[in-house]
């Protein structure tokens, strides 16, 4: 068991790159120097996420074939999330399960920003756009990926009840979801179990896949039964089953600082009114509201993880007038950027 802990704690080459990138981003001048030093060909081969240099490396829509090749017979894939990876909005065509093995992470799920801590299991429904932020050495997040067809077979029995848990799986299985995620706060009670599952993933012999499937079914049923009282979830009336709308959102994210509705229309060959309708249908917000929300989320990240001044953050987000940025931040989060940074520093 100690070997598993050591293996998960040790940083790989990509994480070391992302940590250096993260530290460089705290100062605009340092970031420019760092980006100039990047071997772009090597970064492209490693499929590193560097929005300033390789926006094409960002996958906004992830399907089974992203993780399971045709000649790979496994149905379960467990992958530690690379620490310090730049947060980017994406969605999966399948259920995703994230487990906070140690430390904490922050996710934007739909339009909600949520912090999860040691021992939390997060089930995210198919098609829900979300991000993952893990910006310290000590936090370890395990992403549990299950082939879409296998997940349906495994969890169909859990969709037959009448409670909110059953409704979550039922809606996700039939692509009619309004419950975007379920989270269970289990503390340290399932850590040994997750070590065993991950050990089977690493062993990867003829029996490992079936053993992992059985263990995951048992574990999920147990936490649904034993931790209902800790469960939190997000409910949305929006329907984001819209590929064009999601492509538009991804483009806005890439160019958030300066993009206009006419820029988006020109890029996709749509009319501005069509772009506006797609954004409204996909997010429940107008273009300007969605753009402001993305900027506020980026500002939260900068306030928590950099030493940039409020003025520098304002400029980085495309606001020439710092007071305009402060008013926007306060309107969305009901707190000033300075006060937000103070409160985050105390946590």
Residue 204: Cβ-neighbour burial (10 angstroms; 0-12, 13-18, 19+): exposed
Alpha carbon 208 to chain centroid, angstroms: 27
Q: Which of 30-44, 254-268, 327-341 has the lowest mean pLDDT?
A: 254-268
Report the alpha-carbon distance of residue 340 to residue 296 in Å, rounded: 12
* DSSP sequence for 241-285: --HHHHHHHHHHHHTTTT--HHHHHHHHT--HHHHHHHHHHHHSS
Q: Rounded distance, CA 175 to CA 169, Å?
A: 10
**Cα 177–182–188 angle (5° rounding)?**
160
Instruction: Match 């039922």 to its residue by tokens.
Output: 170
Helices and strands, number each (H, E), in the chain = 15, 10
Tell me the range of 35-39, 68-72, 233-237, 292-296 where mean pLDDT is highest.
35-39
**pTM score above 0.75:** no
* Pairwise pLDDT comparison (57 vs 208), residue with the higher score: 208
pLDDT in tens, 112-149: 889 999 999 999 888 788 899 999 999 999 999 888 77
Give backbone dihedrals phi and psi of 120, rounded to 5 degrees, phi first. -80, 135
Domain boundaries, the chain: 1-58, 59-235, 243-346
Residue from 320, 262, 324, 315 nearest 287 by CA: 262
How far lies 227's CA from each of 144, 186, 219, 270, 339, in Å?
A: 19, 7, 11, 47, 34
Q: How would you class 200 by CB atoms within 10 Å of its CB: exposed for 0-12, middle for 13-18, buried for 19 or more?
A: buried
> pLDDT tens across 155-175, in order?
777 776 667 777 777 776 655
3-state secondary structure of 221: helix
Q: What is the mean pLDDT of the chain?
A: 84
CA distance linking residue 63 with residue 318, whole number of Å: 33
Backbone angles phi, psi at 10, to 5 degrees: -65, 135
Tokens coding 334: 């009901």
The reply to whether 59-235 and 243-346 are identical in fold is no
Summarize pLDDT for 271-291 with one digit per residue, the tens. 888 888 888 877 777 888 888
What is the pLDDT, as a whole number, of residue 174?
Answer: 58
| d(C-alpha 98, C-alpha 311), whole Å | 35
pLDDT number for residue 241: 40
Looking at the domain covering 243-346, what would its CATH class be?
Answer: mainly alpha
For 44-94, the pLDDT digits (tens) are 999 999 988 888 878 777 776 777 766 777 888 899 999 999 988 888 877
pLDDT of residue 273: 86
Task: State the pLDDT at residue 24.
Answer: 93
The reported pLDDT for the residue numbered 320 is 82
Domain 59-235: which CATH number of 1.10.1040.10, 2.60.120.810, 1.10.645.10, 3.90.550.10:
2.60.120.810
User: What length does the chain have?
Assistant: 347
Tens digit of pLDDT for each residue in 93-115?
A: 777 899 999 999 999 887 788 99
Q: What is the mean pLDDT of residues 321-341?
A: 89
Q: Give mean pLDDT, residues 241-264.
A: 71
Tens of pLDDT along 2-28?
A: 589 999 999 999 999 999 999 998 887
């Amino acid at each position: 068991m100690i070997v598993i802990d050591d293996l998960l704690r040790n940083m790989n080459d990509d994480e070391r790159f992302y940590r250096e990138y993260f530290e460089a981003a705290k100062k605009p001048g340092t970031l420019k120097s760092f980006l100039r030093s990047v071997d772009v060909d090597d970064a492209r081969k490693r499929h590193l996420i560097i929005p300033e240099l390789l926006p094409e490396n960002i996958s906004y829509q992830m399907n089974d074939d992203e993780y399971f090749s045709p000649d790979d017979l496994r149905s379960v894939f467990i992958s530690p999330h690379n620490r310090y990876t730049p947060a980017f909005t994406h969605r999966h065509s399948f259920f995703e399960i994230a487990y906070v093995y140690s430390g904490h992470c922050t996710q934007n799920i739909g339009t909600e920003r949520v912090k999860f801590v040691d021992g939390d299991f997060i089930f995210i429904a198919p098609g829900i756009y979300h991000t993952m932020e893990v910006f310290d050495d000590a936090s370890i997040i395990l992403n549990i990926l299950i082939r879409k067809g296998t997940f349906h077979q495994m969890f169909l029995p859990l969709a037959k009840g009448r409670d909110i848990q059953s409704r979550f799986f039922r809606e996700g299985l039939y692509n009619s979801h309004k419950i975007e995620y379920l989270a269970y706060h289990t503390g340290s009670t399932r850590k040994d179990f997750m070590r065993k599952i991950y050990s089977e993933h690493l062993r990867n012999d003829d029996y490992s896949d079936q053993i992992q499937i059985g263990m995951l079914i048992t574990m999920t049923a147990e936490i649904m039964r034993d931790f209902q009282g800790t469960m939190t979830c997000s409910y949305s009336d929006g329907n984001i089953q819209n590929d064009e709308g999601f492509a538009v959102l991804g483009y806005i994210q890439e160019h958030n600082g300066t993009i206009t509705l006419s820029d988006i229309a020109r890029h996709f060959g749509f009319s501005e009114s069509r772009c506006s309708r797609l954004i409204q249908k996909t997010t429940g917000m107008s273009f300007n509201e969605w753009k402001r929300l993305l900027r506020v989320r980026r500002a939260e990240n900068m306030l928590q993880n950099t030493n940039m001044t409020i003025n520098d953050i304002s400029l980085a987000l495309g606001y020439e007038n710092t007071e305009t940025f402060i008013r926007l931040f306060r309107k969305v989060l009901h707190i000033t950027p300075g006060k937000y940074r103070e409160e985050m520093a105390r946590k």
